[in-house]
Amino acid sequence: MGIVLTVVNGRIEECRDGTHRRSYGSNIADAHTDGDGDGGVVAAVTTDGRIEEYRDGICQRSYGSNAQKVRVSGSTMAVTLRDGRVAEFENGSCRRMY
């Protein structure tokens, strides 16, 4: 079944196989992961538009600005910006914008 993420009161709630596992983060507006097992990256967008990457509930890095929504595929993050453009990030660096 895998990992299911929800954002409740600005925190990421992580459930695995229907059981609540942990909650983390603060001021979170959107979150996504592609990991079905342990070691997957959870990407989140804060209310002030920054992107945060979490691994095992611990923030690994924070970057970007004006983000609204994030989607993860492998090591690439597709981030929808507030002005409607999409930016692709890989390892914290913006690769392209369209």
- Domains annotated for the chain, with CATH where assigned, are 3-97 (2.40.128.630)
Q: Over range 74-86, report the average pLDDT.
A: 93
CA 69 to chain centroid: 9
Q: How many residues does the structure list for the chain?
A: 98
Q: What is the pLDDT of residues 4-51, one digit of tens each?
A: 999 999 999 999 888 999 999 999 999 999 876 556 789 999 999 999
pTM of the model: 0.89
The two structure tokens encoding residue 30:
């959107």
Are 6 and 13 spatial neighbours (Cβ–Cβ below 8 Å)?
yes
